Structure 1
Amino acid sequence: MFKKFLELPRIHKRLISVSVDAVALSFSLWASFALRLEDSLWLPSKGQFLVCLISIVLTLAGFVRLGLYRAVVRYMSDRAFLTIVLGVVISALALIVLGYVFQVLVPRSVPLIYAALAFIFVGGSRMSVRMLVQHSFNTGKEWVAIVGAGQTGAQLAKALQQGTEYHPVVFIGLSPANHKALIAGLPVFALSHLEDAVRTHGVKRLLLALDADEKVDRRKLLNQLETLKLPVQTVPSMSELVAGQARINDIRDLELEDLLGRDPVRPDNAQVAASLYGKAVMVTGAGGSIGSELCRQIIHHRPRVLVLFEQSEFSLYAIERELQAINRIDGLDVEIHPLLGSVVHRRRCEMVMRSFGIQTVYHAAAYKHVPLVEHNVIEGVQNNVFGTLHAAEAAIATGVERFVLISTDKAVRPTNVMGASKRMAELVLQGLAQRQSKTIFSMVRFGNVLGSSGSVVPLFRDQIRDGGPITVTHKDIIRYFMTIPEASQLVLQAGSMGRGGEVFVLDMGEPVKIADLARKMIHLMGLMEKTPEQPEGDIEVVFTGLRPGEKLYEELLIGDDPQGTSHPRIMMAREVSMLWEELEVVLNKLSRASQDFDCRLIVDTLKKAPTGFAPNGDVADLVWCNGKQIGPLDGESTGKVHRLPVQ
């Protein structure tokens, strides 16, 4: 019956509302006179009947004029109840005036009693309907607890009550003082009573809604929530809400920084802004994970020109479209130029830098996936080593002021070609920094980036959603982690701090054990790990063995004596460098080996250079292994670095 009422056309619902209000007002008027005169059988005189009838008609007309019947009952706000109060007050005043005009007996207390009764019946009828509607809408919803009893949590509860997926039943407050309080009609349980709240209210999911300024140990909080074996999700950050990029009820999986459980790195925005404002900036690899985030952050510092240099057509299209939208919406007035090209093409790099008067280059273009570079040795060296060399020499030739290389912790005592090639790229920039003083070269070295292409977190999440198993290479493997925004902020910060040839590294806190991260994700998605002791579990963790070139532990420093900087979380490594004359000999050998397609010679050359390269297996290049040794394809190389093939 009630469902049929909800399905009626809106005009019919409005007529029903008017009829109900007419009855409620009539009863309120009769009851106010009966109560005042203490006569339960009171009947109005002709004059009193006329006054009451006109009062009811005027009241209904007032409700119509005030828009009460346009309000959807299930979404009624405080404003609707203020409308009822105003309408009832007008009705009571009309009763007084009409009694005076028609000289009809209307005791002074009757309008007051009438106003109170009318508000109770008119407002109460709507409250009752709203409760019934919400109850019917809550049927089939998943019952959830909101962790965080602040403003964000209250907003989330209100939004979910109007939605169709989740029904909030309890708050989990982080302050013991809020225990047993009521917020938005929901009880609040202290964190120490978490299990009782979940059990008592039949909670099936936990939603994190922490205020931005709330002091909380996220790692400790997640460890407590993890024990419940319930799905844990979160709401968008306040910055996304303010920017209109998300709504409060856009529930999503835990943020990557939540999984890290530590405070993000904060840059010195004033110093970064001073190094970018009004400048011509170029980002190589602009469509990649790090490159694209660098562009997003750079554009907000309002450079004069931002050149996006990328070899992937689709990636370049995607980041250019996104940045143009930011540029337009925020009114930044930055010239954005999307350019296709590869850093291995020296002349292309030089023409781009010269044409746009580039002052700062952030070199993020690189092959970074360890097994893929291990299987494609020639391309890895060409892109990571000679791509860096060509881009850096183009920067010198065109008078670029600053050149910042995005490096990796895998460049420290590398066991794979990717890491060795990135360490070689560092040596190239250190050598060029010694050879000249016009361009300031600096390097930023950091660990694994969560959320980037190839990151373990989205991989694990997909594996869990597919029913498992989660694949981890080794039970003891550990990694340092940071988020893409953190990595990009560090690059910008270091770029503004560099004086020439420095290698900057980040204090990234404690390393993360990958197997523990996988188990944490299983638990926080409300599932159980499947083990021999728990064969009824949901997701199994399978160890597949280390891949070619992979090692158990990553490091950020080669030496043991890092130097501090003006930023408390950024250190400067004291690393071995090479004279340019020595470096030129190594580069010539790598060039000849690349042209001869001699992967073994490339590996041997990288081992003999001061890279610390110690491969943990034989050459794994797929073409080398299948085609064996192949002679020179285009004749002998010249043996000169400045004559390396360029396009």
Structure 2
Amino acid sequence: MRRRIRSAAPVHRHSVPQLLVDGVLVALAYFLAFRLRFPGAVPTRYEDLFEKTIWWVVPVSLVSLAAFGLYQRLWTFVAQRDYEAVVKGVVIATLVIVGAVAVLHPVESAPHFVPARLQFQTTAITFPASVIAMFFLLALALLLGARFIVHLVVEGRVRSFNLAHGARDVLVVGGGQGGRLVVRELVRNPQLRLRPVGFVDDDPRKLGMKDEHGLKVLGSTAAEDFARVLDEVEPDEVIIAIPSAPGTLRARVVTACRGRGIPIRTMPTVFELLRDGSGQLRVTHQLREVRVEDMLGREPVREELERVGAYLAGQVVLVTGAGGSIGSELCRQIARVGPRKLVLLDHAEDNLFEILRELQEERHVNTAVPVLADCKEEERIREVLNEHRPAIIFHAAAYKHVVMMEVNPVEAVRNNALATRVVAQVAGEAGVGTFVLVSTDKAVKPATVMGASKALAEWAVEAAAAKYPATKYSTVRFGNVLGSSGSVVPIFRRQIATGGPLTVTDPRMTRYFMTIPEAVQLIIRAGSLSNAGGEVFVLEMGEPIRIIELAETMIRLSGLEPERDIAIEIVGARPGEKFHEDLFNPYEHAQPTPAQKILRAESEPLDPAWVERTFADINLLVLEGDAAALAKRVSELSTVRETMPAAADGRIPT
């Protein structure tokens, strides 16, 4: 993957005036050091010494300062690291000057605290040691003082601007790096008319501490403490500045602020920052409204993608359904770990074009290869695998809309079950190293054609694992992902935009939810876990969410109140729709894995011969186009594995 490498010049072109000012200040410090050493008239020989040495003392000092990045930032944006850079630069410059003086002009009249071995005595013109000491102190004072004065002037101008233009008071949630970054950006941009007034942070060690702008940590996000801070400060706005904040924290903040009519915005999440192809973060441009995904998201998995996806680096990786919600995010994250080739396979031209354009133009990925193909066409899939020779396949291509699949059962089974069998079989024939099926919790005790078709897909992968032991097959099963096309969140958003009502099937209905980026990261991690082959890995989804509570939360996030402003209409469950989804079948047992938030579903293995006969029957019904018979057959199959006892050899009897 081609990456944009930005090499920072030692001196930014806008910092040249600062360099010149620092040169004058260094020269002034050197001049004053001589004047203070000789209060009356400077002896002629030392005037000559000053004139002979200043020409290299100033450049040496400026080079030392530039080496610590001091001229890559403007004085108007001065921060603690700039003061640290000044100290380091002056120390290095002084040491270089001492070394040069030791060679060119040995030191005279060294103070009593200078060891004798460091005192130089020759017949040449000697250099007063006190001049070096005073130069060090004066250079520090002048360089630091100049920056501090500029800082005070800028701060004063910002305060005056804010007072004159009615700036809004902002309380920042998070006193760490993200919070300091937000405050710094607000101070640098007074035209935003936002005045930070303090922080809240859950780290008790930070309570009462101040940042470089004098802003204190006033409390925590604990319900009572946060309410106290809001009532005391009375901010006009709250900004959540913790990219890795769990949904529970965001929910507490939103609840407290909404009750007081205080607007809330948030920094992007960790996954959004990673998805930003620019490599830069401009906080004031990326602050956004809090979304329901922020509040429902669990605490993020704290694993680095470069580590968990290391097995993909330098490999040829193929993603089916590359233009879909899961497939496209798979492509984004896989591209980050540097595969030798990333094959994007999809039968939808528009979707394929969009993900290819994004990877190439926005993320500067030059290893992506688009392939228009249908997973149901065995010969075409064989051609693709023979041409590109992938080492790893992520099979994400599938139909997912339950209602649509109920009225189109033939296509549901053809695309979800038979196509998966085709890709899995051809992958084994081609010697693919790893095959990962992306599945769904609807495959567990399926009550719909769509769920049954995904259960059949899982069986197809298990059978392929028995037939092609050289390929590591696995299935990754998880619940709903937030924000995918056609899911409940975008549907509710559209209903809110049109004034409602929001349609909920039943007040008791719950679903598991996970953000797409987190689900994909865990899919990639699970791809490295398969050992025996044919294993089913299940992502931990946290606690199920009541759909009616989700609807109420989204209405409140829009600044409205449920029922008062927008109605919620109970429409009743659709045929086959379950009130609660499960992640494990009754015959499966959850087993831990080495990976965080990933479990393994352990069960007795299926007989591959039985799977072959089952798929032969299903394929015949698909070819005949008998939708009613097919729907009946797959609904019967969905209970077979649950009710049929295992044979003595551990396989489902034929």
Question: Shorter-chain-normalised TM-score: which range?
Answer: 0.5 to 0.7
Match of 2:179 in 1: 153
Contact kept? 2:321, 2:345, Cα under 8 Å: yes
Deviation at 1:359, TM superposition (A): 1.8
Alignment of 1:115-194 (within 5 A): 130-137=158-165, 139=166, 143-161=169-187, 162=189, 163-164=191-192, 166-175=194-203, 184=213, 188-191=217-220, 192-194=224-226
TM-score by length of 2: 0.67
Deviation at 1:468, TM superposition (A): 3.4
Deviation at 1:609, TM superposition (A): 1.8
> Is residue 2:475 matched to residue 1:446?
no
Q: Which runs of 5+ in 1 are unaligned?
A: 1-74, 83-117, 531-536, 615-647
In 2 relative to 1, CA 188–541 (structure 1 residues): closer, same or farther, beyond 3 Å? farther
Cα distance in 2 for residues equivalent to 1:217 and 1:230: 16
> Is residue 2:395 matched to residue 1:363?
yes
Match of 2:617 in 1: 589
Deviation at 1:227, TM superposition (A): 4.6
Deviation at 1:303, TM superposition (A): 1.8
Alignment of 1:129-528 (within 5 A): 130-137=158-165, 139=166, 143-161=169-187, 162=189, 163-164=191-192, 166-175=194-203, 184=213, 188-191=217-220, 192-210=224-242, 224-225=256-257, 227-228=259-260, 230-237=262-269, 239-240=273-274, 244=279, 246-249=281-284, 250-254=286-290, 258-260=294-296, 262-266=298-302, 272-325=308-361, 328=364, 335-498=367-530, 499-528=532-561
Contact kept? 1:306, 1:335, Cα under 8 Å: yes
Deviation at 1:321, TM superposition (A): 1.9
Letter aligned with residue 247 of structure 1:
R
Contact kept? 1:256, 1:483, Cα under 8 Å: no
Tell me the alpha carbon deviations over residues 64-118 of structure 1, each in whole angstroms, 9 at most, x when there is no partner: xxxxxxxxxxx95559x99xxxxxxxxxxxxxxxxxxxxxxxxxxxxxxxxxxx9
Deviation at 1:510, TM superposition (A): 1.5
Alignment of 1:44-123 (within 5 A): 76-78=76-78
Tell me the alpha carbon deviations over residues 340-386 of structure 1, each in whole angstroms, 9 at most, x when there is no partner: 11111111111000001122111000001111111221111111011
Letter aligned with residue 379 of structure 2:
R
Letter aligned with residue 347 of structure 2:
Q
Count, aligned residues: 493
In 2 relative to 1, CA 126–208 (structure 1 residues): closer, same or farther, beyond 3 Å? closer
Q: 1:606 pairs with 634, 637, 652, which one?
A: 634
Q: Which runs of 5+ in 2 are unaligned?
A: 1-74, 84-145, 643-654
Letter aligned with residue 189 of structure 1:
L
Letter aligned with residue 278 of structure 1:
G
In 2 relative to 1, CA 601–126 (structure 1 residues): closer, same or farther, beyond 3 Å? closer
In 2 relative to 1, CA 121–152 (structure 1 residues): closer, same or farther, beyond 3 Å? closer
Tell me the alpha carbon deviations over residues 594-629 of structure 1, each in whole angstroms, 9 at most, x when there is no partner: 233211101111123245699xxxxxxxxxxxxxxx
Cα distance in 1 for residues equivalent to 2:425 and 2:348: 23
Cα distance in 2 for residues equivalent to 1:443 and 1:127: 57
- The alignment partner of 1:441 has SS state of strand
Contact kept? 2:329, 2:517, Cα under 8 Å: yes
- The alignment partner of 1:474 has SS state of coil
Contact kept? 2:172, 2:238, Cα under 8 Å: yes
Letter aligned with residue 151 of structure 1:
Q
Deviation at 1:178, TM superposition (A): 5.8
Match of 2:580 in 1: 553
Cα distance in 1 for residues equivalent to 2:444 and 2:464: 20
TM-score by length of 1: 0.68
Match of 1:539 in 2: 566
Deviation at 1:189, TM superposition (A): 3.1
Contact kept? 1:217, 1:261, Cα under 8 Å: no
- Which stretch of the first structure deviates more once superposed, 431-440 or 271-280? 271-280
> Is residue 2:590 matched to residue 1:562?
yes
- Which stretch of the first structure deviates more once superposed, 600-609 or 151-160? 151-160
- The alignment partner of 1:572 has SS state of strand
Letter aligned with residue 497 of structure 1:
L
Contact kept? 1:204, 1:231, Cα under 8 Å: yes
Tell me the alpha carbon deviations over residues 155-199 of structure 1, each in whole angstroms, 9 at most, x when there is no partner: 323433524364544533435666666653556532444335434
Contact kept? 2:247, 2:295, Cα under 8 Å: no
Deviation at 1:508, TM superposition (A): 2.0
Cα distance in 2 for residues equivalent to 1:455 and 1:565: 30
Match of 2:40 in 1: none
Deviation at 1:395, TM superposition (A): 1.3
Tell me the alpha carbon deviations over residues 275-302 of structure 1, each in whole angstroms, 9 at most, x when there is no partner: 3222211100001111111111212222
Contact kept? 2:182, 2:283, Cα under 8 Å: yes
- The alignment partner of 1:550 has SS state of coil
Letter aligned with residue 500 of structure 2:
G
Cα distance in 2 for residues equivalent to 1:271 and 1:128: 47
Deviation at 1:579, TM superposition (A): 2.6
Deviation at 1:586, TM superposition (A): 2.4
Tell me the alpha carbon deviations over residues 502-543 of structure 1, each in whole angstroms, 9 at most, x when there is no partner: 11112222212222222233334443322xxxxxx3333322
In 2 relative to 1, CA 261–491 (structure 1 residues): closer, same or farther, beyond 3 Å? closer
Letter aligned with residue 551 of structure 1:
K
Tell me the alpha carbon deviations over residues 197-240 of structure 1, each in whole angstroms, 9 at most, x when there is no partner: 43455434322112759999556555555654544321124645
In 2 relative to 1, CA 176–297 (structure 1 residues): closer, same or farther, beyond 3 Å? closer
- Which stretch of the first structure deviates more once superposed, 302-311 or 566-575? 566-575
What percentage of residue pairs aligned between the two structures are identical?
A: 38
Question: For the aligned residues, what is the CA RMSD?
Answer: 3.7
Deviation at 1:491, TM superposition (A): 1.7
- The alignment partner of 2:485 has SS state of coil
- The alignment partner of 1:210 has SS state of coil
Tell me the alpha carbon deviations over residues 38-71 of structure 1, each in whole angstroms, 9 at most, x when there is no partner: xxxxxxxxxxxxxxxxxxxxxxxxxxxxxxxxxx
- The alignment partner of 1:563 has SS state of strand
Cα distance in 2 for residues equivalent to 1:216 and 1:343: 40
- The alignment partner of 1:609 has SS state of helix
Cα distance in 1 for residues equivalent to 2:438 and 2:246: 33
In 2 relative to 1, CA 462–189 (structure 1 residues): closer, same or farther, beyond 3 Å? farther
Cα distance in 2 for residues equivalent to 1:518 and 1:351: 47
Cα distance in 1 for residues equivalent to 2:477 and 2:537: 6
Match of 2:126 in 1: none
